């Protein structure tokens, strides 16, 4: 199934900004992080279709996954 993955800030270094991937049914955010060599600590903020998720969150066909390192501002 197809999932769009977006990476931001320092996570883009040596990786990508946005890409589509084909995953097996039942894939979780944690699996994807592992496949991209991103630690759970680095993936501080995770959105699935604009809602907060975590490493255990499951994904489905067509989902948009956005991953941020710890960031702040204001």
Partner 1 sequence: MDKILRIDMGAEGGPKMQVESLGEYAGLGGRAMTSSVVAKEVPPFCHPLGGENKLVIAPGLLSGTGAAMSGRLSVGCKSPLTGGIKEANSGGQPAQVLARLGYGAIILEGKPQGDDLYKVFINKDGVKIEADNSLKMMTNYDLVSKMKGEYGDKIACISIGPAGEMKMQSASIACTDPEQRPSRHAGRGGTGAVMGAKGVKVIVLDDTGCKARPPKDLQKFRAANKIFVEGLSRHPVTGQALPAYGTNVLTNILNEAGAYPTCNFKVGQFAGAGKISGETIAELETKRGAGPTHACHRGCVIRCSGIYNDKDGNFLSKQPEYETVWAHGGHCGIDDPDAIAMLDFLDDTYGLDTIETGVAIGVAMQAGVVSYGDAQAAINLVKEIGKGTPLGRILGSGAAVTGKVFGVEKVPVVKGQAMPAYDPRAVQGIGVTYATSPMGADHTAGYSIATNILKSGGFVDPLKPEGQVALSRNLQVATAAIDSTGMCLFIAFAILDQPDTFQSLLDLLNSFYGLELTADSVSDLGKKVLRIERDFNSRAGFTKEDDRLPRFFYTDPVLPHNVTFMVKDEELDSLFDW
Residues in contact with partner 1 by the rule CB under 8 A = 6, 8-10, 12, 17, 44-45, 47, 49-52, 66, 68-74
Closer by beta carbon to partner 1, 21 or else 47: 47
Closer by beta carbon to partner 1, 24 or else 51: 51
User: Hey, how many other C-beta atoms are within 10 angstroms of the C-beta on 42?
Assistant: 15
Closer by beta carbon to partner 1, 4 or else 35: 4
Give the HSE-up count for residue 21: Cα atoms under 13 Å, Cβ half-sphere: 21
Locate 22 and state its tokens: 């084909």
């Amino acid at each position: 199934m197809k999932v769009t993955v977006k990476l931001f800030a320092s996570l883009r270094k040596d990786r990508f900004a946005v890409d589509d991937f084909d995953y097996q049914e039942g894939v979780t955010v944690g699996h994807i992080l592992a496949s991209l060599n991103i630690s759970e600590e680095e993936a501080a903020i995770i959105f699935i279709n604009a809602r907060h998720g975590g490493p255990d969150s499951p994904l489905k066909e067509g989902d948009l996954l956005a991953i941020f390192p710890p960031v702040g501002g204001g």
